[in-house]
A and B are shown apart, each in its own frame.
Chain A
Amino acid sequence: MATVNGEVEGAEPEKKEEGDVRTGSLVSQSLPHEYQKEALEFDVESFRIDGAPLGERGDLDEEDRFLSLVDGGNWETLELEGSVTIDQDTVEDVFPFNEWDETPGRIALVKENPLAMSRDRQILADSPLERGTHEFALSINRDDHRGRVKIKPFLTRTEEGGSSGSKHASKVGARVADGLSWIVRLDERDDGGSLLMPIIEDFSDYDRFPDESHIHYLSLEAPRNPQLYLNKEHPQIINVLNNTGATGGPPRLRDVLYDYVEHSVWTQLLMQTARDTSPDTGEPEYSWQEDVLNIFLDDLYPGLGDDEAKVQLAEDVRSHVDIPDLVQRIERAVHQQYNIPSDTTNLIEEAIQSGD
């Protein structure tokens, strides 16, 4: 068996062969300790909408552990009741022998709703962990959630573990087991669910906002949840931006202003996405960045496959030498998103007609 290790100088890699070499990848991932997948029994026994049984509302598939309330009419609160059960075998698998009697474990039910940027948990059982069934009641407020809501139980450690050399987790908070999740799907919003619905604010009220010469501002202070603001200090411009017409001067001007805002915002979103994308795996940090990559990758790196393009983008933004080329690529790609010559020509023609 050929072997090489870090203390032995490795052979110099051969020069790359000519030809169309393509790269594929396989990924494996592991926790550094014993972990029992799907070992917690997670049952939802009842769903109630605004206090009434689910009945015919929604699309419930108990086998797939899925409830869709898309087109489920008006409602405010969905309540779920059920239980999470942990057995002795699971405890013995993930905790060392000396912790079987007084088990430093906690069962938490975690609710995740990525589109609403929401994640919270409910603790069902705490240390010392008792085996058996732990009941829960959980509410999903319609106004606070959108799209896919995942509910999943986890078992975690609550105390620092013993000596090293054990296969068991030792850190406080380490996940050691989970259960099969339930998915609740909520209806889409009329606005298309875009993350960037603008908010109108007076920029002079906030130190962190740009000065009054700006009509818009993209806040990336919380990169998980970018926010677009429009400056209330320019009410006539806001009025034009709010115009919903199709023809005439204000709608034509609106389209040109939208192009201007769009160019600025996409450029910033792309740079943030590039910075948050791993040069190792090509994976971005936040879910909205997947959408940004899907929109622009082909235009940014037309010769590369998706995975290679993501890695290249992440590498380029970290390379001082490659930044100017990257900025030009972004400029070109962002320009594909709107039609500034057409929108400006429409505005000019409208102005000429008005002047006749």
Chain B
Amino acid sequence: MTETLRGLVAPNVDRGTTGPQRLGNRFKIGNESRGGSAERESPSSQRVTGDTNISFDEVYTHWSFDGEVEPLSDGNEIRAVTVSLIRMAEERATSDRLPVQNISSDTAGVSISLPEQKGVQVGRLEPAPGTLKISFEGVSTEDHRQVETRMKVSVDVAERRDE
């Protein structure tokens, strides 16, 4: 009985039509305010500056990289630098990681290691107190997949310690 009454008073709703815009507008995603730009500068990149490069060495079929980084603020020193290599998929998506085979630095007093992050070897540099700039270079393991690859250099900075 109740179902019958409901059927009689129910409004006619077309299927496949667009529903309430007011509800859709509660989800402010994919809209024009974002500007569609993929090139916004990351706030964290502003803590450090420098020059980093990566290129594929077709003779040894591995990636060679180098860089020189320093804190943006004069009051900061470098506590650690981590270099990771990431293979790229389509449309900016990241795929898997590529191990760092070796890394070196000619900056005095730098401790070097190749720890694992998420199961893949990365390059890590830990400088002596008061280090304001680190340069490094290194290579990946052999890469037979040879797709676009990204090097991420993460730099831990903190206020300079009294020596």
Binding site for B on A (CB under 8 A): 1-6, 10-14, 16-17, 19-33, 114-115, 147-148, 164-167, 171, 188, 191-202, 205, 228, 230, 232, 235-236, 238-239, 241-242, 244, 258, 261-262, 265-266, 269, 278-281, 283, 285, 287-288, 290-292, 294-295, 305-308, 337-338
Contacts and interface: CB of A to CB of B under 8 A. Distances in A.
Contact of A261 (B23, B91, B148): B23
A262 to B, nearest CB: 5
Given A20-B159, A236-B11, A26 B52 contact: yes
Given A13-B126, A28-B54, A283-B92, A290 B44 contact: no
B29 A196 contact: yes
A327 B86 CA distance: 28
A201 B150 CA distance: 43
Given A17-B161, A20-B158, A278-B86, 14 more contacts: A6-B100, A22-B44, A22-B158, A25-B152, A28-B153, A29-B54, A30-B56, A115-B30, A195-B27, A195-B31, A197-B18, A285-B92, A305-B44, A307-B43
A328 B141 CA distance: 40
A25 B48 contact: yes
A6 B114 contact: yes
A151 to B, nearest CB: 14
B102 A6 contact: yes
Interface of B: 6, 9-32, 34-36, 38, 42-50, 52-56, 58-59, 61, 63, 65, 67, 69, 71-72, 79-80, 84, 86, 88, 91-94, 97, 99-106, 110-115, 118, 121, 124, 126, 141, 143, 146-159, 161
A145 to B, nearest CB: 12
Contacts, number: 291
B84 A166 contact: no
Contact of B15 (A33, A202, A236, A305): A202
B107 to A, nearest CB: 8
A27 B153 contact: yes
Nearest to A279: B118
A36 B98 CA distance: 25
Given A198-B19, A280-B94, A29 B111 contact: no
Contacts of A167: 58
14 contacts: A13-B80, A21-B79, A28-B150, A30-B148, A147-B32, A164-B58, A200-B14, A228-B19, A235-B10, A235-B12, A244-B20, A279-B118, A281-B86, A291-B34
B24 A197 contact: yes
A262 B25 CA distance: 11
A196 B118 CA distance: 35
A12 B115 CA distance: 8
Residue from A21, A26, A269 having most chain B Cβ neighbours under 10 A: A26
Contacts of B49: 26
Contacts of A278: 86, 93-94
Contacts of A13: 80, 111, 113, 115, 124, 126
A263 B84 CA distance: 37
Contacts of A27: 45, 52, 150-153
Contact of A25 (B6, B14, B34, B45): B45
A195 B31 CA distance: 7
Given A4-B102, A10-B115, A14-B111, A23 B156 contact: yes
Residue from A10, A11, A288 having most chain B Cβ neighbours under 10 A: A10
Contact of B112 (A11, A165, A194, A291): A11
B44 A25 contact: yes
A12 B114 CA distance: 9
Contacts of A288: 29-30
Contacts of B26: 258, 262, 337-338
A23 B44 contact: yes
A338 to B, nearest CB: 8
B103 A28 contact: no
Given A6-B102, A24-B45, A25-B48, A193 B111 contact: no
A80 to B, nearest CB: 19
Contacts of B18: 197-200
B33 to A, nearest CB: 8
A148 B36 contact: yes
A6 to B, nearest CB: 5
A308 B43 CA distance: 10
Contacts of B115: 10, 13
A238 B13 contact: yes
B115 to A, nearest CB: 6
A244 B22 contact: yes
B24 A196 contact: yes
Given A115-B36, A236-B11, A241 B148 contact: no
B158 A21 contact: yes
Contacts of A195: 27, 29-31
